[in-house]
Amino acid sequence: MPLLLVDGLHVRYGAIVALRGMSLTVDEGEIVGLIGVNGAGKSTTMNAIMQVVRPERGRIEYNGASLIGLAPEAIIRRGVAPVMEGRRIFPGLTVEENLKLGAAIRSDREAIRADIERWCAFFPILGERLTKPAGTLSGGQQQMLAVARALMSRPRLLLMDEPSLGLAPKLVSEVFTLIAELRDLGMTILLVEQNVRKTLDIVDRAYLVNTGRVEFAGTPDEIRQQADLEQAYLGGGREAGGGRNASPSASRLPPPASARTSIRG
Ligand SMILES: Nc1ncnc2c1ncn2[C@@H]1O[C@H](COP(=O)(O)OP(=O)(O)OP(=O)(O)O)[C@@H](O)[C@H]1O
Ligand SMILES: [Mg+2]
């Protein structure tokens, strides 16, 4: 049984159909990538998992139980933590207050304090700035705070939506290093990224998403072997300015392999 199962998800915003049969699985201990051009439906998938947007139909199951209809807080209580697009930290609150908000679902004060120390050791800059307003942190530091805050809920599954977006190249590399380190700590991660090459370097599997559904799924090697496919998705980086026109022709592509079993078994 996968830790997360998304099956046949349909989401629309009024007349705009954002997801049309989105399906994916994430097994415990995996890092799974969700790759696609602007508007492909990646954030909508994340928001649907958190039930911030309600799907018209389809299944979302975490640890064997449906998440449909739950409040986002109830989903966080079950062990899912989002690091959503645009790092929504509270700039007027201190770094420490932001971290405590991440633990809002918990009441084990001593353990919360210990976790703050743990993540400040992991992200030393946060420890140094603990009593400073979060708004005084640099963009990269705020991203670290957003991740640390999500970790404060002690999640089993981390949902990360474009954690490297808007960061300087050096910081982008640091974010990818961080993700690999979190995997080594045993975290399970669903990662949305436009940085295709770096994503393929760290994920166990990835899904290529186009117009609201999976176009191809496989291991990084399998995806790299689809040279034209990788090329099409490589065009989607924001910095590269490829954007929406980089969409590949669906008819040339192999059928979705969303039911493919995990390479980790
Ligand atoms: N709140 C909204 N209201 C209306 N349409 C929306 C809304 N959010 C997303 N959409 C549309 O739904 C589709 C999927 O958007 P989504 O944000 O999920 O894509 P994405 O893959 O995350 O893109 P990006 O790479 O730009 O973040 C797009 O056509 C987008 O314009
Ligand atoms: Mg998005």
Q: Write down the pLDDT at residue 42.
A: 96
Q: Which atom of ligand 1 is nearest to the CA of 162?
A: 27
Q: Between β-strands 80-83 and 157-161, what pairing exists: parallel, antiparallel or unpaired?
A: parallel
pLDDT of res. 227: 66
Instruction: Determine the pLDDT at residue 85.
Output: 76
Question: How many angstroms is it from 244 CA to the middle of ligand 2?
Answer: 13
pLDDT digits (tens, 9 = 90+) for 94-128: 999 999 999 999 999 999 999 999 999 988 999 99
Nearest CA to ligand 1 atom 26: 38
Under a CB-based contact definition with an 8 Å cutoff, are residues 84 and 132 in contact?
no
Q: At 214, which amino acid appears?
A: V
Query: Ligand 1 — pocket residues by CB below 6 A?
Result: 13, 16, 18, 36, 38-44
What's residue 235's pLDDT?
A: 59
> Counting runs of H as helices and runs of E as strands, what totals does the chain give?
10, 10
Q: Whose CA is nearest to atom 4 of ligand 1?
A: 13
Going through 201-261 in order, the beta strands assigned E by DSSP cover: 205-210, 213-218
Q: Domain residues of the chain, as ranges?
A: 4-79+156-252, 92-154
* Residue 70, pLDDT score: 97
Tell me what pLDDT residue 230 has.
65
pLDDT tens for the chain, residues 1 to 265: 999 999 999 999 999 999 999 999 999 999 999 999 899 999 999 999 999 999 999 999 999 999 999 999 999 999 999 998 776 799 999 999 999 999 999 999 999 999 999 999 988 999 999 999 999 998 888 988 999 999 999 999 999 999 888 788 888 888 898 898 888 888 999 999 988 889 999 999 999 999 999 999 999 999 988 767 767 776 544 443 333 333 333 333 333 333 333 333 2
The CATH fold of domain 4-79+156-252: Rossmann fold (3.40.50)
Place of tokens 């049984």: 1
Distance 230 CA to ligand 1 centre (A): 22
* Per-residue CA distances from 59 to 75, 95, 121 (Å): 15, 37, 39
Atom of ligand 1 nearest to the CA of 11: 12
Closest by Cα among 190, 186, 163 to 5:
190
pLDDT of residue 236: 45
How many angstroms separate the CA atoms of 33 and 42, rounded? Answer: 10
Q: Which of 9, 11, 43 to mutate to test the pocket of ligand 1 (most atoms within 8 A of CB)?
A: 43
